[in-house]
A and B are shown apart, each in its own frame.
Chain A
Amino acid sequence: MAKEKTKDLASESYLQTVFRRFRRHRLAMISLVVLIVLVAAALLAPWIAPYDPDAIVGDFGGAPNWQHWLGTDQIGRDVLSRLLYATRISLLVGVMATLISTVIGVVLGLVAGYFGGIADMVIMRFTDMVMSFPYILLVLVAAAIFRPGLWNIIWILGFVDWPGIARLVRGNVLSLRETNFVKGSIVAGMPLRHILFSEILPNTVAPILVYATSVLALSMLDEAALSFLGQGVQPPAASLGNMLNGAQSLTILTKQPWLWIPAGLLIVILVMAINFVGDALRDALDPNSR
């Protein structure tokens, strides 16, 4: 028996190892399931939403009932349908902003780490500058300037979130450059493109992935905050943040909790699930743990 088990471990592929380690985190597994369900619901919103999110289908500010599970908003739109579409928008903002900042961070980090010298200094000083801005302030100023809107928010968040990734990649490149396999390729005269993208980058994918999950969580929180302040995704499009915007009015806050509590809870659940998955990924991808 014991022998078979060791053989199992030996022939296990890298992804299998990662998944085996990941499965040990019960909360992360639950989070993963929750995330899959929510993402599926968001993607399928046009088919599963009971009503058109922008159509007026019920009473003004009607309480939850059998026709409208989560009630209707101030102008009679179905809250559940809007919530599904809002999740879609919020996930879109989070994922796109994370993609943009990851690409920027990876490219700048690779260049700074591999070439060093003046390129490194200029890029790192620029990174310092972006990091020295109080984050939300920068986002708010930018959002006020570039007319709030879905794609502007995505670009702004993408352009603000990259410094962490750039630093991470740079650090990894610096240490990978000293490894024998990279030195070997340099001596063998391999093209630069091959060294950077086929040797260095794959070896730094795991930490980037982990970091990207936290960027995803952060940018979803930021989108919510911006939209809540009215500087983000603009109505009539629903986002999880701007659905909470109405709660700044006292009537909604006190008398119509179904208009803001579900959206807020959904943000908490999404962000928390992403954080848990990221945390378990960090453990699972760590080559030093068994």
Chain B
Amino acid sequence: MYKYVLKRILIALPVLVGITVIDYVIMCMAGSPLEMMQGPRITEAAIEAKEAALGLDQPVYIQYFTWLGELLHGNLGYSIKSYQPVSAMIASHLGPTLLLMGVSLLVSLLLAVPAGIYSAVHQYTKGDYAVVTASFLGSSVPGFFLSLLLIYVFTVKLGWLPSGGMTTLGAEGSALDTAQHMVMPVMVLAFSMAGSNIRYIRSAVLEILQQDYLRTARAKGIGRFRVINKHALRNALVPIVTVVGMQIPMLFGGAVIIEQVFSWPGLGLMTMSAITSRDYPVIMGVCLLSAIVVLAANLVTDILYALVDPTIRLDA
């Protein structure tokens, strides 16, 4: 087990380094962030001095190694725009994103697991068709369109929910207030995630229902309820774990747009503004963080597999 984890981490490291190289190359093709600073008030000499101060006058590979060296000392660099350390910026924006993601993931599972199982158990009934159609709708609606519709209905027409932000001015810190702000973004994220999850869980459960051990269980005369809840559900845990694992990278990315629409003060919003102002150290930091999250999620998924399914052995 430990050997397996170690091996996986050793494989993941070159992938991670490769990702940072690709990131760096893409960004260098984009041109200097200092172009954004140009204007009548800034002289050529000032820009050159700035360039030298930021190390941008060096060749690309030297810049990369400088960045990598600093990274190994735990320094992600400083934002070109706000001069704040990137790690502090990420730290302050991570909380809201994790909150939004965690709650959305939870809600989507609460929707998808019962719906997927129901639809598998009642295959080819009207209920099944309704669930599957709804799940296709979920994965076909662009998140931003659904957000706009929700804002139109709940904020503009009904006036029940705030349209954006995380807190109301003057009511900071109240959990209820934050929860109110979260309702719409969570609905959008959970609905679109549940869309693909339902179909995945459904087909996984369908496969389990055809297994011999379930036929045996049924033949023994155990009631339908117990067959499904005791024998089938436990085995359905494996696909559910996969779903969660697949979702984490998607959550990280999908939030960018939703955070933008609802001005949710998380990583996505920060990244979007870094992208428009070409704030490379910030973009690099976020890309690195998300790559680590994705690779870690893959690893944890594989380990969880072994925990829920004793027939999978990792030491092979």
A residues adjacent to B (C-beta < 8 A): 27, 125-126, 128-129, 131-137, 140-142, 144-146, 217, 221, 224-225, 228-229, 241, 244, 247-248, 253-254, 257, 260-261, 264, 267-268, 271-272, 275-276, 279
Q: Assuming the A-B contacts A272-B140, A275-B139, are A264 and B249 also in contact, with contact meaning beta carbons closer than 8 angstroms in the complex?
A: no
Give the interface segment out of B72-80, B107-115, B225-233, B252-260: B252-260
Asked if B15 and A268 make an inter-chain contact with CB atoms under 8 angstroms apart, the answer reads: no
Residue B168 at the chain A interface, CB threshold 8 Å: no
Q: Is there an interface contact between B15 and A132, defined as CB atoms closer than 8 Å?
A: yes
Could you mark each residue 4-29 of chain B with 1 if its beta carbon is under 8 Å from any beta carbon of chain A, else 0? 00000000001100110010001101
Asked whether, in the complex, the Cβ of A133 is within 8 Å of the Cβ of B136, the reply is no
A145 to B139, CA, bound (A): 28
Residues of B within 8 A of A264 (CB): 142, 145, 148-149
Interface segment out of the listed B174-182, B272-280, B308-316: B272-280
Which residues of A lie under 8 Å from residue B291 when comparing CB positions? 132-133
B residues near A140, Cβ cutoff 8 Å:
256, 271-272, 275
**Any A CB within 8 A of the CB of B63:** no
The 7 closest A-B pairs by CB, nearest first: A134-B253, A145-B30, A264-B145, A136-B253, A272-B140, A271-B140, A134-B290
How does the 8 Å CB contact mask read for B240-281 relative to A, with 1 for contact and 0 for none?
000000000110111011001100000000011001101000
Query: Is A27 a contact partner of B133 (Cβ separation < 8 A)?
Result: yes
Least CB distance, B260 to chain A, in whole angstroms: 7
Question: Do A135 and B145 touch (CB < 8 A)?
Answer: no
Name the CB-closest residue of B to A245: B144
Judging by beta carbons under 8 Å apart, are B156 and A141 in contact? no
Report the separation of the CA atoms of residues A135 and B255 in the bound assembly, to the nearest whole angstrom.
11
* Interface flag for B131 (CB, 8 Å): no
| Shortest beta-carbon distance from A69 to chain B in Å | 21
A16: shortest Cβ distance to chain B, in Å?
24
Identity of the chain B residue whose Cβ is nearest the Cβ of A264 in the assembled complex: B145
Chain A residues with CB under 8 Å of B152's CB are 253-254, 257
Contact B249 A135 (CB under 8 A): yes
Q: Check if B275 sits within 8 Å of A141, measured CB to CB.
A: yes
Tell me whether A137 and B271 are in contact in the complex, defined as CB-CB below 8 angstroms, given that A128-B15, A253-B151 are known contacts: yes
Q: Can you list 10 pairs linking A and B with CB atoms under 8 Å apart? A: A128-B15, A129-B15, A131-B294, A141-B287, A146-B30, A228-B144, A244-B144, A254-B156, A268-B140, A276-B136
A241 and B261 alpha carbons, distance in the complex (Å): 14
Does B254 lie within 8 Å of A136, measured CB to CB? yes
A228 nearest CB neighbor, chain B only: B144
B149 neighbours in A (Cβ, 8 Å): 261, 264
Q: A224-B142, A229-B260, A275-B140 are in contact. Are A141 and B19 (CB under 8 A)?
A: no
Interchain CB contact under 8 A, B287 and A135: no
**Interchain nearest-CB distance for A160 vs B (Å):** 11
In the assembled complex, the CB of B97 is this many whole angstroms from the nearest CB of chain A, namely: 12
B140 engages A217 (CB within 8 Å): yes
For the complex, what is the distance from the CA of A19 to the CA of B26, rounded to whole Å?
45
